[in-house]
Amino acid sequence: VQLQASGGGSVEAGDSLRISCAASVTMYTFSRYSLGWFRRAPGKEREFVVAIGRSGGSTPYVESVKGRFTISRDNAKKTVYLQMNNLKPEDTAVYYCAAKSTILTHTPTREDEYDYWGQGTQVTVSS
């Protein structure tokens, strides 16, 4: 399974970006995945941002991005998205997507629960 993240870049504070993560699996297999976004800021540990379950419902967002970021998925395109609005310099990080085949009622939030990881996409926000 390959997860290809894209869409990162360098923006100014207040700008928006949408990052994507496409999976190299069938649509059926993708539909059985929960998908998460994590990020690692310079000098910090990787942290959980948000995840989306098979039914399309999301977990709570990390407090620092609430109201600004939105996760979504398109099973037909086998892609998960993270829409990031009103970006702040503290959002600067490498963003990673992750996937795991799960039951309908469970959406993982811990790194060690995920089986597949993308290579990361850099988001840099300048003040």
58 secondary structure, DSSP code:
B
Under-50 pLDDT residues of the chain: none
Instruction: Please check whether residue 80 is in contact with residue 35, taking contact to mean a CB–CB distance below 8 angstroms.
Output: yes
Instruction: Kindly compute the dihedral angle of the four CA atoms of residues 50, 46, 118, 59, in this order, to the nearest 10 degrees.
Output: -10
* Distance, CA of 25 to CA of 11 (rounded, Å): 31
Residues 56-81 have pLDDT tens digits of 999 999 999 999 999 999 999 999 99
pLDDT for position 56? 93
